[in-house]
Amino acid sequence: MNKSLNLALGALTGGLMVVAIYMVFEYVPTEADQGIVQRIFYFHVPCAWVAFAAFGLVAICGIFYLWLESPIWDDLGYAAAESGMVFCTLVLVTGSIWAKPIWGTWWTWDSRLTTTLILWLLYGGYLLLRAMADDTPQVARFAAVVGIVAVADVPVVVVSVRLWRTIHPAVLVTREGGHGLEDPRMVATLLVALAAFTALFVWLLILRFATLRMRTRIAKLAGELNLAHAAAGDL
């Protein structure tokens, strides 16, 4: 990948992350009811946003792969699924850390927690497919199909789990239509954290994508080399 792009993205991510951490620990006021624990929210929500965006990207790449059959889309989908999985794991971990003091338990079968766990399992399955079928030539198509089906499944998961039960606080969109962040400094901190995590995601995605592109190229060269050897052997 382009070296200056890599440096620029790294610097942008690093800078934004430092500002975000400063704002979370120094700038933003402590929430009245929950106290200091609530500050994890500024990392939790951006991770969730990034994970959902990444999984959406997996499906879009799947559709483009089946349509155009270009390995670029396959590599981008793979990179998105891997990065998304990292952030989805972080959502579950930060959520658990917050839930212990607030709800008194690490885990509860609330609708958003359950939905996130199902997502985690779905894309865990997707990555296992990619790992297990590494030597199968059609792996890219299989992964594309599973990525599309997984995203098609998400709306039904959300509706069914919501009907099942919910106690998760609706901070960003409450039932009254407003949002739960009273202080403008809280909104500012959340926005900066969102930008920082989005930059981090894009950076990781591009790095991983570049590695996978290189892997595809090496596999292609190795195939050509084998063919050349076989041809030489035949003579």
Partner 1 sequence: MSGFVAVLRKDLRLEVRSGESTIALVALSLLILVVLVFALDPVGGVRGAGIAAGALWVAMIFAGVIGSTRALHAERDNGCIRALILSPLDRGALYVAKLTAAFIFMAIAETAAVVLMVLFFNLDFDARLLRLAPVIALGALGFSALSTLLAAIAGRIRAGDLLLPLLAVPMFVPALIAGVKASGAALTGAPFGAIAQWLKILVAFDVIFLAAGYLLFEHVVGED
By CB under 8 A, what part of segment 130-149 binds partner 1?
A: 132-133, 135-139, 141-142, 144-146, 148-149
The amino acid occupying position 61 is: C
Rounded-to-integer distance, Cα 145 and Cα 114, Å: 24
Least distance CB 176 / partner 1 (angstroms) = 25
Out of 129, 192, 199, 205, the residue judged to bind partner 1 by CB under 8 A: 129
Q: Which is nearer to partner 1, 24 or 144 (CB)?
A: 144
Report the nearest approach of partner 1 to the CB of residue 21 (Å): 34
Assess 66 for contact with partner 1 (CB under 8 A).
yes
Q: Is 60 in the site for partner 1 (CB under 8 A)?
A: no
| 7 counts as binding partner 1 under rule CB under 8 A | no
CA-nearest of 79, 77, 70, 168 to 115 is: 168
The Cβ-side half-sphere exposure at 86, using a 13 Å CA radius, reads: 13
CA-closest candidate to residue 164, choices 102, 115, 229, 95: 115
- 13 and 203 Cβ atoms separated by less than 8 Å: yes
CA distance 218 to 210: 12
What residues line the site for partner 1 (CB under 8 A)?
66, 118, 121-122, 124-126, 128-129, 132-133, 135-139, 141-142, 144-146, 148-150, 152-153, 156-157, 159-161, 163-164
